[in-house]
């Protein structure tokens, strides 16, 4: 990957651990230029709180750096706060600031200024309390990029799990799993594994919805009536799809050994396994966007902000994943294994 490719980094909720994570990572030189879109005043203050000596290097559109910042330095595109931050205390006044950092980062990706976007956690509740309708990074970026359908995928070393449905009450999951939705999500997963992860022929394991994948219809007919017919139509298009398989046995070495991704039907079917395997070293990837976006797998941890008692593992994996995805996007399909 050419060293001139830049990446955007947003610290998320200013009262949480996002700014801390960015500063702690700045102790080491990154592989590529990384632009932190944040309040310079906030980053200075938090650096003092953490007892870090980080050189904040101002950068602006038209003056982007071509080389990574030296160890102990961080490029910052200054984005002013509405009100000074009290570490660990949410403030509605700064909700618009959080969204401005995301807008700058996302639009910068669309404009070709950044090869990808890495996000630290936001606090959805305080943004909504400020009177701004906001359901999360994924939906915000989908609207910004005018993307109709996106897919949530979490990944850690050795396992990727994508979701057909995300944040729904369990009672609503079955009705949300339609043939149309399943086919759309699977196509996005297959396409991005190929185009953004350089996997020429992705092998995807698909969970059933019901216990024992419905056990021949005795424990539910969704597998027979919806899931299997949809998967067969996609197989006819050339996709390598295995399933529907019982979720309680799918997540075993026998099945996962040669798998590129697992497609789970709902949030708590697939993510507990992934987080058990790699919590603190996992990454949230938004598939289906015209840009690359990765994120940490944890929340704002307001009680830990400013203490230094945090682990940068998830943000480091998010950075590395974004770098790899950008590299894969540049790799000609003919050169892929």
Q: How many CB atoms lie within 10 A of CB 236?
A: 8
The residue-averaged pLDDT of 46-64 equals 95
CA atoms of 213 and 227, how far apart (whole Å): 10
Q: What is the pLDDT of residues 215-274, one digit of tens each?
A: 999 999 999 999 999 999 999 999 999 999 999 999 999 999 989 999 999 999 999 999
The residue-averaged pLDDT of 104-116 equals 96
pLDDT of residue 331: 67
Annotated ligand binding at 138? The verdict is yes
The residue-averaged pLDDT of 276-302 equals 93
Q: What is the pLDDT of residues 118-130, one digit of tens each?
A: 999 999 999 999 9
pLDDT of residue 333: 56
Strands 116-119 and 293-296: parallel
Return the residue matching tokens 């998320």.
12
Q: What is the pLDDT of residues 58-76, one digit of tens each?
A: 999 989 999 999 999 999 9
Gyration radius of the chain over CA positions: 21
Annotated ligand binding at 275? The verdict is yes
Q: At what angle do helices 18-25 and 40-50 cross, to 10 degrees?
A: 70
Burial class (CB in 10 A: 0-12, 13-18, 19+), 148: exposed
Tell whether the model's pLDDT for residue 3 goes beyond 60: no
Q: 190 to each of 162, 206, 239, 311, 321, how far by Cα in Å?
A: 11, 12, 8, 32, 17
The whole-chain average pLDDT of the chain stands at: 94
Q: What is the pLDDT of residues 177-225, one digit of tens each?
A: 999 999 999 999 999 999 999 999 999 999 999 999 999 999 999 999 9
Tell whether the model's pLDDT for residue 101 goes beyond 90: yes
Strands 55-58 and 34-38: unpaired
Distance of CA 90 to the CA centre of its chain: 23
Annotated ligand binding at 267? The verdict is yes
pLDDT of residue 167: 83
What percentage of the chain carries pLDDT values higher than 90? 89
Q: DSSP labels for 125-163?
A: HHHHHTT-----HHHHHHHHTT-S--EEEEEETTEEEEE
Going by C-alpha positions, the residue among 18, 24, 118 that lies closest to residue 71 is 24
pLDDT of residue 281: 87
CA atoms of 166 and 152, how far apart (whole Å): 7
pTM of the model: 0.90
Which pLDDT band holds residue 1 (cuts at 50, 70, 90)?
very low
Helix spans in the chain (H): 18-25, 40-50, 95-110, 124-129, 137-144, 170-176, 179-195, 222, 228-236, 247-250, 253-256, 267-278, 313-330
Going by C-alpha positions, the residue among 213, 194, 11 that lies closest to residue 97 is 11
Annotated ligand binding at 284? The verdict is yes
pLDDT of residue 136: 86
Annotated ligand binding at 212? The verdict is yes
Choose from 95-99, 148-152, 308-312 the range with maximum mean pLDDT: 95-99
């Amino acid at each position: 990957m050419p060293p001139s490719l830049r990446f955007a980094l947003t610290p998320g909720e200013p009262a949480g651990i996002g700014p801390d994570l960015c500063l702690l990572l700045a102790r080491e030189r990154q592989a590529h230029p990384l632009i932190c879109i944040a309040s310079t005043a906030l980053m200075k203050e938090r650096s003092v709180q953490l007892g870090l000596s980080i050189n904040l290097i101002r950068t602006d559109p038209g003056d982007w750096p071509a080389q990574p910042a030296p160890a102990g330095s961080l490029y910052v595109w200054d984005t002013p706060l509405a009100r000074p931050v009290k570490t660990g205390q949410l403030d509605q006044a700064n909700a618009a600031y959080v969204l401005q950092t995301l807008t700058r980062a996302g639009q910068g990706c669309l404009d070709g200024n950044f090869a990808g976007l890495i996000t630290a956690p936001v606090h959805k509740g305080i943004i909504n309390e400020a009177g701004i309708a906001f359901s999360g990074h994924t939906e915000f970026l989908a609207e910004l990029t005018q993307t109709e359908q996106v897919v949530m995928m979490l990944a850690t070393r050795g396992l990727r799990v994508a979701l057909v449905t995300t944040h729904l009450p369990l009672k609503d999951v079955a009705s949300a799993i339609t043939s149309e939705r399943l086919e759309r999500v699977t196509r996005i997963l297959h396409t991005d594994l190929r185009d953004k992860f350089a996997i020429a022929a992705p092998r995807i394991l698909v969970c059933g919805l019901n216990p024992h994948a419905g056990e021949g219809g005795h424990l539910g007919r969704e597998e027979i009536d919806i899931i299997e017919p949809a998967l067969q139509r996609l197989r006819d298009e050339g996709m390598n799809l295995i399933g529907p398989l019982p979720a309680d046995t799918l997540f075993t070495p026998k099945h996962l050994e040669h798998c590129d991704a697992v497609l789970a039907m709902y949030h708590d079917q697939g993510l507990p396994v992934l987080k058990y395997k790699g919590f603190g070293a996992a990454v949230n990837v938004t598939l289906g966007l015209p840009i690359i976006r990765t994120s940490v797998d944890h929340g704002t941890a307001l009680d830990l902000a400013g203490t230094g008692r945090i682990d940068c593992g998830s943000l480091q994996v998010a950075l590395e994943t974004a770098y790899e995805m950008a590299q894969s996007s540049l790799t000609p399909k003919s050169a892929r294994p």
